[in-house]
Structure 1
């Protein structure tokens, strides 16, 4: 893969019910900063999104937020980010996050997290964006999602190569190392 300068992090606007979610999110942010990587987030101050930003900033890192004006109007924007870019729509947010990063990672979160992350994975399958797509599978949070991906491949709705393109670990350092070593498969329509 090419040079990795920034990682897009998709995660919950809530912290979840288990303290390990926030602890691991903060650890991933610190690992990225230690390697000199910027983080690209949704720009929020709440939940895991806020925790990731705070941990990176506390470690001396750069955090670039991308947020629609409608969410800024609800006072959800993080006020201490290195950069905050305002967009009109959630669609523009996803495109801007992809444009400013060379990898996409999901931490535990809800439907919005999965929406953003699935689009990154799909773009990789189509060859639109060959960046790695990872999951930080904290305490097996994504096990059922991975089982569904296995089923999609087994039942012929995607190639095994596109199932295998997912970079999945439970450890923040291991995830970053796997992202750095990633080699994309051939795009979907060439198989």
Structure 2
């Protein structure tokens, strides 16, 4: 199994974020799960990679050429794949991964997981998408997602398809047991059978 990890290129204000990122990478390696991530040595990205590498795990970085040239690429990875741009990076990470895990981060982190979650709803892939909710970091976002359901912009099954936990071991177990919901815009959803 290979999991794509989306997280910050900064460490954040709370030391717990970096500790959780390192521990997640380490646990992944111990479970034989390879990490696919953005390829950086900085921030939570670097912590995840270091945790996995120091535990003997496989870590695959996918980084646009422009960022490699800015010298933020991790030099100790199992493999670093250099791609032309961010669009290719996201596509390649999606191809390599069998699931997507999100740790604390900013706009780029959120954009990456939201794209994969949208693709899962549409049935473009059937891979799990989840949040490691360190120190309640994602609580406001989860409240917004719940509001989209209450206000009729999202069916409950698409909100509940997200795996959310603060426990990394539980996250791995939930990913192992994941079953995707029915994809959006199937013929049955567009033309429900009349009773």
TM-score (norm: length of structure 1): 0.96
1:104 aligns with 2:95: no
1:37 matches 2:33? yes
Displacement of 1:30 in angstroms is 1.4
Question: What are the ranges of 5 or more consecutive residues in structure 1 without an aligned counterpart?
Answer: none
Q: Deviations over 1:140-160 (max 9, x none)?
A: 100011011111111111110
Structure 1 runs, 4 residues or longer, greater than 2 Å off: none
What is aligned with 2:46?
50
Q: Secondary structure at the match of 2:179?
A: coil
1:168 and 2:159 correspond:
no
1:27 equivalent in structure 2: 23
What is the Cα deviation at residue 32 of structure 1? Answer: 1.1
Equivalences for residues 13-162 of structure 1 within 5 A? 13-162=9-158
Q: Which has the larger radius of gyration?
A: 2
Give the TM-score, by structure 2 length.
0.94
Structure number with greater CO (CA < 8 Å, separation at least 6) is 1
Alpha-carbon distance in structure 1 between the residues aligned to 2:176 and 2:27: 13
Q: Distance in 1 between matches of 2:125 and 2:141?
A: 22
Pairwise CA distance, 1:81: 0.5
Counterpart position of 2:193: none
TM superposition shift of 1:35: 1.1
C-alpha RMSD over aligned residues: 0.7
1:179 aligned to which of 175, 180, 188 = 175
